[in-house]
Structure 1
Amino acid sequence: MVSARSAHAVGRRALALKAAGFSHRLYRLAIRLLLLPLLGWLWWRGRAEPGYRTSLDQRLGLIDIPPQGRDGVLLHAASVGELQAARSLIDSLQQRWPAHSITVSTQTPTGAQTLRQYFGSSVRHVYLPADIPGAVRRFLDALRPQCVILMERELWPELIWQCEQRCIPVALVNARLSERSARGYRKWHKVMASVWPALDLVAAADQPSLERYRDLGVPADRIMLAGNLKFELGQGYGKATAPEAYANRLILVAGSTHAAEEAQILPLWKAFVQRHPQALLVLVPRHPQRFDEVANALRQHDLPFARHSLGEEPSANTPVVLGDTMGELMRWYGMAKLAFIGGSLAPVGGHNALEALACGCPVLYGPHTHNFDALFDSIEEKEAGQRVQSAEQLLAVAESWLADPEKLEERGRLSSEFVQAHKGANARTVEALEGFWKARDLQALCRIDDVNLSNQTIWLDPDITDTLTPEDFNPDAAATDAAILPTGSGRGQVLVKSVSGHQVVLRHYRRGGMVAKLSRDVFWRRTDDRSRAMEEFALLRLLRSWALPVPRPVAARHAPVGLLGYRSDIMVEMIPGSRNAADRLQQAPLSHDEWVALGTVTRRMHDLQVFHSDLNCHNLLLDTNGHAWIVDFDKCRVRTGQDWKQANLERLQRSLRKEQGRMRAFHWSEAADWPAFMQGYEPNGAQRY
């Protein structure tokens, strides 16, 4: 029997999952009912930000991912703030695991725009779908991530549930949780109860967050204190040389402001400038769709301003610059004497103060900082910033700071030191994520080229060949370099041929059972990436990265037939000196060690939760060195649960009995050989787990 605690080596936990519980099904119903209002709201938001309208298909999980973009890392960062925190982590992922494609999902167009500014085309962007079963299923089917990294508080129950079903490990990094949010989760504890144990890693940003997540139900062995990734701002942050138009000005930046804050600050700014003629307010609204609205507000308050997006520069008498461009907030902080952190006078919860501090810019902030309470408390304790209760107090404190340049410079130094003292979160987070890949051979993730010829799609490994054509897959073509290799499985033959100096096995997919009498090799039409050949190619690529002994995929073909059908073929590299167990047993008995090797490799496959749909003695191979291999992964997949493993073993057992019954000579002794196989499968019996 198969142990009930067999663990998935990538997810690092036992998988014996049940169907979705009652509370989760209610959650699904509620989200489905909200879907149409959500799509309507996105369409309405699209009036100001067209990105919301152009991405509606992706909100339903309809994404187009090329083959080389699959089997990688999915990182979800809701918007600009989360992307800023994730920037150093993405840099590290690209350096540490270059074989993995990285896809970043956001929920806002500004997040997508920020991602492109940071990483260009080196990172793929998609929008996260609505958290309904169908959309999430389509999304994961297309992307097939091998790890999902969620930033800060992006906990979506259906996404996490489906990742668990697919054996995809999920990490929550830079995990922050205020007491207010924790109360909300406790209020909906029945919905969230399945989420906490499904998280493979929670890398907390601070100690209070760690304790709150642990109290909610995250297992203690999966939670750690990593620190705040927003301290990892990388190189190039610090004081900047101001352009001539800004020289000799006392620059105060109001960063990431909201309408309620602008309504409080702007009526007071004219009087402030009269007392300090050199003062210049750089006003940077939080949301780009409000830039025109803020420009109108400045006109209504009779405040002359320079609009940065138009290339305008302030004159000596200009009191305000409207920072109406994306991605330049750090530039403004680098030029400023001090900064106000938006979202804190308005009851929003405060925004990220670390960018300003990293530039040596001390900060002022209002009473509403519940998004970052621990951070702002530390800032005040280190004298790098001060809390104010109103716009009047904000400008009064700013005036007192500007009146004491030496003290203000000291605050700037303390600001920089505060950020430097908290660095290291990125290294700790990456080290924790490393555990997801301990069992991985990332170099085995072969590259994929996607070629379209004569209405046919070919995937190939360019490190082996880049010269294949549809004719190379024709199983009926007479090829002088091809040899016929019987499969023994009753579905015809495969060809062994040479491709670019490599011996490969070409297998043409054929139908079995009664349906084969109607159609020998035509299957119902599917998109090329979901065809049998491409599915097997992708799975073999993945299994090799898990160090499972399977053949290297060389190429796969999808050939449409009429309007509703397709044919499919796959090429895999020939395993030198290998023969399948059925062929070997026709010649002579297998040794005890060979049976143990076959049992061990089968167990490794099951420990990785890999379901082999046709596990039989033709698909288990032994090479001349006694090493065991597994082949023919058509219709196979990563699968949760345990019961199917015993059925897999029974299928293998039946195939041995069947061959023994139909072969004149077949050297198989169930009484002696099956226990040797099971010795490899369960080396220590029930004690192993």
Structure 2
Amino acid sequence: MRYLYTFAMFLVTPLLVLRLLARGVRSRPYHRRWLERFGIFDTPGITGSLWVHAVSVGEVNAAEPLIKALRRDYPNAPLVITTVTPTGTARVHQLFGDSVFHVYLPYDLPFSVNRFLKRIRPRLALIVETEIWPNLYFACRRRGIPLMIVNARLSERSMRGYKPLRSLARSALRCVQLIAAQSRTDAARYRLLGADPEQVLVTGNMKFDMPIPQDAVAAGAAMREHWGPRRPVWMAASTHEGEELAVLEAHLKVLKRFPDALLVLAPRHPERFRLVENAARSLGFTVATRSVDGVPLPVHQVCVIDAMGQLMPFFAATDVAFVGGSLVPIGGHNVLEPAALSVPVLVGPYTFNFEEITDSLIEQGGAERVPDADQLGPDVLQLLLDGGKREQMGQAAQRVFERERGAVQRIMQLIDTLLQE
């Protein structure tokens, strides 16, 4: 099965390169550093590194407290961070600058993987959330590199996706020393996929340990003062194609009741920034952007956040937060950022990527589910009209966030044990 998989990877590699080139038309960073995806890059004499792989922005944000703990406890070990997307790369540079070595994860081809591992020479590999690459995993076992999946999650949808390759996934998972699952459900799914039950532990979700920027609350308060402290403000974060129009139509409903209301709209991907801005203008909204206007003025009805890593201060400045990727079958995004700041949360029907976190917030009263796009406007409006309910939901969300903290400490104890062994 592994040989068939590798043969298939060789066959699709030209298509992957064409996809890189095509995506580069919309986003120039895809054109850069593409040789790294074949394990070709220069290294500054790295040996004995601690390697963390985080696919994109969400995984990098989740890994932030773990990476900081690794830097604190192992200050002499080189830290290597790999990503797959340019947005994840930008987030790594924003958070850690030159204190870590960043490179793109190579395609799962034997020669690319071997070249990559030979250059970074890791003493430990940490894979964040859900990334099962058979050739990479087998190469780590062959080289004696301890491999650990941290903050591991596996949705029902991902389980179905692995079904045709279940025997191969099982063999790959047997190369892993430890799987630190986010929840009991995730742990059970990894066992069903073929992981050794004794190697699967439940440690919780590292995203509950994410640091809240010290200046986020102060910056949010300053923005509220700038555009009017009594002004109704709601935010739609990490939106995807098919959601922005629904959000803008919801804001039209809000404006009928609150003519001075402000919508803060943050598309998930940079290549959509300009498209979303133009869509808002075409509907007649007065639009500000983060890059041009900085902070919106009282005259603006919509503010498009056309920058990465800028959400926390805006969450702190809003009354209600809708988290995107959930009105369309993307699976939802991180609901913990607004929850950490005591902001009530709205989500759509599709939250399978953050199933247990979202369900917990809803059960505890910190979040509500919007059944469809048509109901988004009325639900936002209801919360903007009811300050008491907003306060109760915000407090409940913050309690859930605080209650679940501690996963990074538990994972660091497991890492310490692996490295000692």
Q: Normalising by structure 2, what TM-score?
A: 0.96
The one-letter amino acid of 1:216's match is L
Corresponding position of 1:277: 259
Distance 2:290 2:160 in 1: 42
Corresponding position of 2:332: 350
Q: Does 1:81 align with 2:62?
A: no
Distance 2:114 2:21 in 1: 23
- Unaligned 5+ segments in structure 2 are none
The one-letter amino acid of 2:267's match is P
Which structure carries more relative contact order (alpha carbon 8 Å, separation 6+)?
Answer: 2
Corresponding position of 1:27: 5
Contact preservation (8 Å) 2:249, 2:377: no
Contact preservation (8 Å) 1:270, 1:303: no
1:199 to 176, 183, 188: 176
CA deviations over 1:133-154 (Å, ceiling 9, x no partner): 1111111111111111001001
Q: Does 1:183 align with 2:177?
A: no
Corresponding position of 2:93: 116
Corresponding position of 1:127: 104
Superposition map of 1:249-260 within 5 A: 249-260=231-242
Q: Does 1:210 align with 2:187?
A: yes
Q: Does 1:103 align with 2:80?
A: yes
1:374 to 352, 356, 371: 356
Corresponding position of 1:66: 44
Corresponding position of 1:162: 139
Distance 1:72 1:184 in 2: 32
Contact preservation (8 Å) 1:356, 1:363: yes
Matched position secondary structure for 2:333 = coil
Distance 1:179 1:306 in 2: 40
Distance 1:247 1:76 in 2: 42
Distance 1:257 1:346 in 2: 9
Corresponding position of 1:466: none
Matched position secondary structure for 1:83 = helix
The one-letter amino acid of 1:424's match is G
Task: Tell me by how many angstroms 1:289 deviates.
Answer: 1.1
Task: Tell me by how many angstroms 1:199 deviates.
Answer: 0.7
Task: Tell me by how many angstroms 1:162 deviates.
Answer: 0.5
Distance 1:399 1:267 in 2: 12
Q: Does 1:296 align with 2:306?
A: no
Corresponding position of 1:316: 298
Q: Does 1:40 align with 2:21?
A: no
Q: Does 1:242 align with 2:222?
A: yes
Task: Tell me by how many angstroms 1:75 deviates.
Answer: 0.5
Distance 1:162 1:377 in 2: 38
CA deviations over 1:90-114 (Å, ceiling 9, x no partner): 0000011111100000001111110
Task: Tell me by how many angstroms 1:188 deviates.
Answer: 1.5
Corresponding position of 1:338: 320
CA deviations over 1:6-47 (Å, ceiling 9, x no partner): xxxxxxxxxxxxxxxxx0000000011111110111111112
Matched position secondary structure for 1:150 = strand
CA deviations over 1:584-608 (Å, ceiling 9, x no partner): xxxxxxxxxxxxxxxxxxxxxxxxx
Distance 2:347 2:250 in 1: 17
The one-letter amino acid of 1:178's match is S
Task: Tell me by how many angstroms 1:388 deviates.
Answer: 0.7
Distance 1:333 1:211 in 2: 34
CA deviations over 1:546-578 (Å, ceiling 9, x no partner): xxxxxxxxxxxxxxxxxxxxxxxxxxxxxxxxx
Task: Tell me by how many angstroms 1:395 deviates.
Answer: 1.6
The one-letter amino acid of 2:180's match is A
Matched position secondary structure for 2:188 = helix
Distance 1:169 1:314 in 2: 49
Task: Tell me by how many angstroms 1:312 deviates.
Answer: 4.5
CA deviations over 1:223-269 (Å, ceiling 9, x no partner): 11100011111243674313233332211110000120012221342
CA deviations over 1:494-548 (Å, ceiling 9, x no partner): xxxxxxxxxxxxxxxxxxxxxxxxxxxxxxxxxxxxxxxxxxxxxxxxxxxxxxx
Task: Tell me by how many angstroms 1:58 deviates.
Answer: 0.3
Distance 1:247 1:129 in 2: 49
Distance 2:122 2:59 in 1: 20
Corresponding position of 2:29: 51
The one-letter amino acid of 2:222's match is A
- Unaligned 5+ segments in structure 1 are 1-22, 440-689
Matched position secondary structure for 1:90 = helix
Matched position secondary structure for 1:356 = helix
Superposition map of 1:436-447 within 5 A: 436-439=418-421
Distance 2:23 2:284 in 1: 30
Matched position secondary structure for 2:51 = strand
Distance 2:239 2:31 in 1: 25
Distance 2:76 2:294 in 1: 45
Distance 2:90 2:247 in 1: 29
Contact preservation (8 Å) 1:104, 1:125: yes
Contact preservation (8 Å) 1:233, 1:358: no
Contact preservation (8 Å) 1:229, 1:426: yes
Aligned residues between the structures:
416
Contact preservation (8 Å) 2:40, 2:115: yes
Contact preservation (8 Å) 1:253, 1:333: yes
Contact preservation (8 Å) 2:253, 2:378: no
Q: Which moved more, 1:87-96 or 1:70-79?
A: 70-79
Distance 1:293 1:212 in 2: 38
Superposition map of 1:487-506 within 5 A: none
Corresponding position of 2:116: 139
Matched position secondary structure for 1:120 = helix
Q: Does 1:388 align with 2:351?
A: no
Distance 1:101 1:233 in 2: 22
2:209 to 202, 214, 232: 232
Distance 2:145 2:131 in 1: 16
Q: Which moved more, 1:177-186 or 1:75-84?
A: 177-186
The one-letter amino acid of 2:336's match is L
Corresponding position of 1:325: 307
Superposition map of 1:220-619 within 5 A: 220-236=197-213, 239=217, 240-243=220-223, 244-248=225-229, 249-439=231-421
Matched position secondary structure for 1:241 = helix
Distance 1:204 1:85 in 2: 13
